[in-house]
Structure 1
């Protein structure tokens, strides 16, 4: 049995290192002497008790890049302790695979890639993580080309977002010998890097800001809430409340939006938060909460005298219609139709009438039939009226009564809108099987331009948060605000 150099040196790697250094100074070959004097002792120590910082972890899988200096990779394999070991190697470094197997005593799963093929590393890491989705995985970037190490690090950072048990690791040293141009034996350790998604709230802030900017307020609120737990910094709680307010608004939960909005304004009034970035947009937030309160009052009372509530709800529906757009034309049409209907019902309420019980006199009914026939391009006897006023009936009745807003719309536009409304009634989510075209949806949306108080000189209502001129990103929520 071959003698272990560590035994010859009394178990002292430092003594072996000095022997090695003297032998090199005497003209010996540094690489050959290292393999003879130092490496067997260092390897034996790591086989018995690898040095891992901050502490050993039970990795089930490890993935390593292999270059032309396999010693560090061997230490990383031993430090990771995984049962399944995948090695990304180049054609050149493949010759070190047998030695790596011998040094570590592990079965290896080699994967050949180009030395600069970063995309191949991304694909392999993705494949391996999908193959082992629920176990701790170590990604070791110690060895290999710069492209290989950088690619594995980038893949690790990205995929940690979806596979939280992934850790990036590398073999470091606490002392480097400049004369021998090597780490001093015995000072090596496997470093397990913390997951930046868990360690730094600022990383989550980037995701939260991205989601917030896309209008995915519910998901953004989840990230902001997680940041409170990670950092203990309550400023993120205020951003969470803001995102929850907008999420409730966007899902038409006026009561929930008001509750979150009031709570947020209350927090912003506390001494501790007077300097919070959201207070820079306080007036905008106050206007939005006031609008939401008006919408809530309207929905509870169903009173079209709550003009601000009607206008705010109609504009919210229009924004939602524009947002879903081409992706969901049926839903876009429903939002736009209901928004237009609300605005017309508000105009009708000014006449003291309600669409569900208009109370038409025989004279009004006859005149309405004739007006409706003109819009539909029918003879009056073919124009049908129900007990309630539908959207076209509302348009015709308001024209009949000289409403200045509806009266300003040319008859040709109303006739075009009539065709669109007929298509709406045949839509998949109403009574039929059609999917509205984008042009038809656009006509629904455009029909409100004449009804919206913005176009008539009436008092402006604050925009929805995802509108083009809304606050967008109050306080620009990000790490540190």
Structure 2
């Protein structure tokens, strides 16, 4: 019997059902004997699915005390593997569900009020069928059961994008029948409210931004703008792009992206955007990036503005890499070296080929001897490393080192010499957290002493 013939017969049976209902008869016997078999046959032949029928590989259903809804959902999903989450009360319907759908199902008993257990069960099943098209049916079951299933479904779609949530809906419900008007039922896919509203994307974007994962943050901000239609999120995406490039030390791209963001913030539509409240900070960072680019182009280490912003960038990198000590060490040591080079250049030292005067050389050797009391003969290298730069500035009585505690200098010399022994430089030793902290602390003090307000940290959102 074809689908059209079944629809016509169902229409006739429905008329008879309502005639009996109007006469005050109990509609249940006729529904069970004449209407339901036709409805079941129609769903077996041509299940009404919106927008169209697409069989799933797996379906997961919560079973309540109205098995008809679950039966229709199983037929509508067309899944080859069916899981039934049932309670002690609804267990008695399992045999009927399998018989009328013609499918063997895998029953899983759950507590009707234990939302957490249902969530964990669904998560486990999705993990078992990773990559398969899975339908999660919310039609039947207790409120706690369907809530647990919905929570798992809509959240875990982030991990299992092939999962879809379905529901047997209807075009009309008759309170006298206490069921949908026969023939108006259809299976529909429910959109994820998190996807539609973009709130999860926004949450993830802000979380990644706070964690310094700017590339991911940018992608999620753009996705939020797309889903919500709110262009303001796109500007946050632009900002995250700026910091991604800055973190990668791609200063030309960071500057270009920041200039684009500032132009967008000038548009009438964005004048009240929250980022405009931080415009002065953004403009300062734009100038800072320009200063870095000028320093890199001219290679003039006496350029205080450029050195300050580049050192601030390296120290921001140190802060962001604290969970990865070898990387944090690279940032900290280079920041200190840059600042020492700047101070030495300001005192006239040729950093490429330092040639101290005899008096300077004697003072430098005396300072090094004080720092390295157990060292034998003190020799001055052709190029100065960290320790020699520090000793040179101390010997020249530079204000930044004039009042530095001798004990601290003793501790620093070990930390500075450790750099050349580091595995990621040209040694075989791992960095020590205490050494790196000492180096970063001195770098911060020297940066502050330059008197340049260089803030390379991302603007908080």
Q: TM-score, normalised on structure 2?
A: 0.91
The corresponding residue for 1:222 is: 219
Count of residues in Structure 1 that have an aligned counterpart in Structure 2: 457
8 A Cα contact 2:136 2:164, kept in partner: yes
**Structure 1 residue 8 displacement after superposition:** 10
Query: Which residue, 319, 325, 329 being the options, matches 2:325?
Result: 329
**Structure 1 residue 99 displacement after superposition:** 0.7
8 A Cα contact 1:13 1:185, kept in partner: no
Tell me: CA distance 1:10–1:319, structure 2 relative to 1, closer, same or farther (3 Å): closer
Residue by residue, what CA displacement relative to the aligned partner does 1:153-186 show, whole Å, maximum 9, x if unpaired?
A: 0111111112222111112222222233222222
Query: Which residue, 370, 375, 380 being the options, matches 2:371?
Result: 375
The corresponding residue for 1:338 is: 334
**Structure 1 residue 128 displacement after superposition:** 2.8
The corresponding residue for 1:435 is: 430
8 A Cα contact 2:208 2:217, kept in partner: yes
The corresponding residue for 2:93 is: 96
Query: Which residue, 347, 350, 353 being the options, matches 1:351?
Result: 347
Tell me: CA distance 1:120–1:287, structure 2 relative to 1, closer, same or farther (3 Å): same
**Structure 1 residue 47 displacement after superposition:** 1.6
Query: Which residue, 131, 135, 149 being the options, matches 2:132?
Result: 135
Residue by residue, what CA displacement relative to the aligned partner does 1:325-370 show, whole Å, maximum 9, x if unpaired?
A: 2x21122122111111111111111112233321222332232111
Question: Which secondary structure state, in structure 1, belongs to the residue aligned with residue 112 of structure 2?
Answer: coil
Question: Which secondary structure state, in structure 2, belongs to the residue aligned with residue 450 of structure 1?
Answer: helix
Query: Which residue, 412, 415, 423 being the options, matches 2:410?
Result: 415
For 1:282 and 1:320, locate their aligned partners in 2 and report how far apart those are by CA, in whole Å: 23
Q: How does 1:49-128 map to 2 (within 5 A)?
A: 49-128=46-125
Which structure has more relative contact order (CA 8 Å, sep 6+)? It is 1
For 1:297 and 1:457, locate their aligned partners in 2 and report how far apart those are by CA, in whole Å: 18
For 2:147 and 2:131, locate their aligned partners in 1 and report how far apart those are by CA, in whole Å: 24
Query: Is residue 457 of structure 2 the alignment partner of residue 461 of structure 1?
Result: no
After superposition, the CA RMSD in angstroms is 2.5
8 A Cα contact 1:20 1:34, kept in partner: no
**Structure 1 residue 114 displacement after superposition:** 2.5
For 1:63 and 1:436, locate their aligned partners in 2 and report how far apart those are by CA, in whole Å: 52
8 A Cα contact 1:46 1:79, kept in partner: yes
Question: Which secondary structure state, in structure 2, belongs to the residue aligned with residue 451 of structure 1?
Answer: helix
Question: Which secondary structure state, in structure 2, belongs to the residue aligned with residue 64 of structure 1?
Answer: strand
Tell me: CA distance 1:8–1:281, structure 2 relative to 1, closer, same or farther (3 Å): closer
The corresponding residue for 2:3 is: none
Q: TM-score, normalised on structure 1?
A: 0.88
The corresponding residue for 1:283 is: 280
Tell me: CA distance 1:170–1:7, structure 2 relative to 1, closer, same or farther (3 Å): closer
**Structure 1 residue 194 displacement after superposition:** 1.7
The corresponding residue for 1:14 is: 14
Query: Is residue 250 of structure 2 the alignment partner of residue 253 of structure 1?
Result: yes
Q: Which runs of 5+ in 2 are unaligned?
A: 1-5
8 A Cα contact 1:20 1:38, kept in partner: no
For 1:295 and 1:22, locate their aligned partners in 2 and report how far apart those are by CA, in whole Å: 85
Higher alpha-carbon deviation: 224-233 or 41-50: 224-233
Tell me: CA distance 1:16–1:373, structure 2 relative to 1, closer, same or farther (3 Å): farther
**Structure 1 residue 387 displacement after superposition:** 0.9
Residue by residue, what CA displacement relative to the aligned partner does 1:204-253 show, whole Å, maximum 9, x if unpaired?
A: 22321222222211101112333455566544432222110011112222
8 A Cα contact 1:20 1:37, kept in partner: no
For 1:339 and 1:106, locate their aligned partners in 2 and report how far apart those are by CA, in whole Å: 68
Tell me: CA distance 1:260–1:7, structure 2 relative to 1, closer, same or farther (3 Å): closer
Q: How does 1:185-264 map to 2 (within 5 A)?
A: 185-196=182-193, 198-230=195-227, 234-264=231-261
